[in-house]
Structure 1
Amino acid sequence: MTSTTDYRSLSPAELAPFIQHTKISVGLTRADMIAHAEEAARFGFGAAMVPGSWVRTVADVLAGTGVPVASALDFPTVGVMTSAGKAAEAAELVRLGATQIDIGVQVGWLKSGDHDLFREDIAGVVRASGVPIKVMLELPLLTPEEREIAVELSIEAGAAYLKNASSGQIETASPENIRFLAARAPDGVLVKASGSITRYEQTIALLEAGAACVGTSAGIEILNNTADALTESY
């Protein structure tokens, strides 16, 4: 189902909670991450998405602000960690202050027909972490049949969010794939959009398609575009 919210009428402050403010790259410094956390708090973003090595620093800055700390594992090269390693890392991220975790899935196991292993890889993280888990399904890499199976197994494993892809290297987030996930997500399971989300109109289209949130490093620019769009509509 798509949302009935009129996203185009939202002010920048009202749109910000739908955006997970992301900063994940090589060579980030402590100053970079503190600034990122301060931005997340100042603009009221839905979460600050950061590398695991900086979760504690960002959690300390965001303490008391109400902005969640999110992190990702088995990423950016998805599906290379062992299941035990993934579960252990998830537990550590929570200990450091993460309250949401995006995880890569084992696409190779899915394509090999190892469905029990695929499901348990996700379920192990769900059990070990105790926080909402977002599964990065890499939909462009899957056949239509594999997409259906991946969604079903992820839901069975206890995923809190279905996510179209891990990054723009896999897909520029498309409303079509968000609608695909939203149509299959049962009550209590949400959809996150990810992948080269840089524009206001693109963000609105993804939310209208059924995304509960979008992950992007261009959140501030999108909010600036929001203000411009509202001005033009009057």
Structure 2
Amino acid sequence: MSIINMEINRLIDHTLLRPTAASQEIKALCEVALQYNFKAVCVPETYVVIAKSIVKDSAVEVCTVVGFPLGYSSTEAKRDQATLAVSQGATEIDMVINQGWMQEGLYSKIVDEIATVKEAVGTHCLKVIIETANLSDVQIRKAAQCVLSGGADFVKTSTGFAARGASIQDIEMLYQELGGKLGIKASGGIKTHEQALALIKAGATRLGTSNGPALLAP
């Protein structure tokens, strides 16, 4: 594996969140993550235990999603879901914000919800999905500030279930707004090595993809 591949592989959350995903596919995902020493596998909560059992003796983290993919679960439901996931072995949580609150400008509620889930996650990594496809540029910047104020560790662009995934413009904007104060996870539609490099250059510090091996150089 080349130096650039060694750098990229540790930025990749190798992901399978398709609603029809079965346990054998999750196991295969984890085996690929082990093979390439990816940073994490990102799986549905029902598969956290399986994923943990496979990667437990490695450097691969187990990530799962909360309030996914729409974000309008109650704060209490998100908190409880995160608490359960951590107890089952998840070390990273990707939470979707309440997108309706974002449209209404209820920023303090968004901040409080993020803080509540972060308290449940504790020292583990919390990434907050803001779904940039559904936001204006002004809203993307405001959402980034909410994530920062809520005490999360990363802002994440997309669920992969919206009209589009991460764009270079999204990442550049988030980087300009946050100035390195938070990690930035680009996700959704990342399929090639060239895309990965461009997103990293723009400021992404993590890449969510179902195409992990394809992001590495030939």
Q: Secondary structure at the residue paired with 2:152?
A: coil
Which whole-Å CA distance do the structure 2 matches of 1:144 and 1:26 have between them?
30
Q: Percent identity?
A: 29
Give the aligned partner of residue 4 of structure 1.
none
Q: Secondary structure at the residue paired with 2:213?
A: helix
Which whole-Å CA distance do the structure 2 matches of 1:82 and 1:172 have between them?
25
Question: Structure 2 regions of 5+ residues with no counterpart?
Answer: none
Q: Which moved more, 1:178-187 or 1:122-131?
A: 178-187
Shift of 1:71: 0.8
Give the aligned partner of residue 138 of structure 2.
145
Give the aligned partner of residue 61 of structure 1.
54
Which whole-Å CA distance do the structure 2 matches of 1:139 and 1:199 have between them?
21
Shift of 1:149: 1.9
Give the aligned partner of residue 108 of structure 1.
100
Give the aligned partner of residue 81 of structure 1.
73
**Residue 140 to residue 169, structure 1, CA distance change in 2 (3 Å):** closer
**Residue 14 to residue 118, structure 1, CA distance change in 2 (3 Å):** closer
Q: Secondary structure at the residue paired with 2:95?
A: strand
Residue in structure 2 matching 1:222, options 204, 210, 215 = 215
**Residue 14 to residue 94, structure 1, CA distance change in 2 (3 Å):** same
Which whole-Å CA distance do the structure 2 matches of 1:136 and 1:160 have between them?
11
Shift of 1:186: 4.5
Give the aligned partner of residue 94 of structure 1.
86
Q: Deviations over 1:36-58 (max 9, x none)?
A: 11111111111111110000110
Q: Secondary structure at the residue paired with 2:42?
A: strand
Q: Relative contact order: is structure 1 or structure 2 higher (C-alpha 8 Å, sep ≥ 6)? A: 1
Which of these two proteins has the greater Rg computed from alpha carbons? 1
Residue in structure 1 matching 2:200, options 179, 199, 207 = 207
Residue in structure 2 matching 1:122, options 95, 114, 122 = 114
TM-score of the superposed pair, with normalisation by structure 1: 0.87
Q: Secondary structure at the residue paired with 1:169?
A: coil
Task: Give the alignment of 1:7-86 within 5 angstroms.
Answer: 10-76=3-69, 78-86=70-78
TM-score of the superposed pair, with normalisation by structure 2: 0.93
Question: Structure 1 regions of 5+ residues with no counterpart?
Answer: 1-8, 228-234
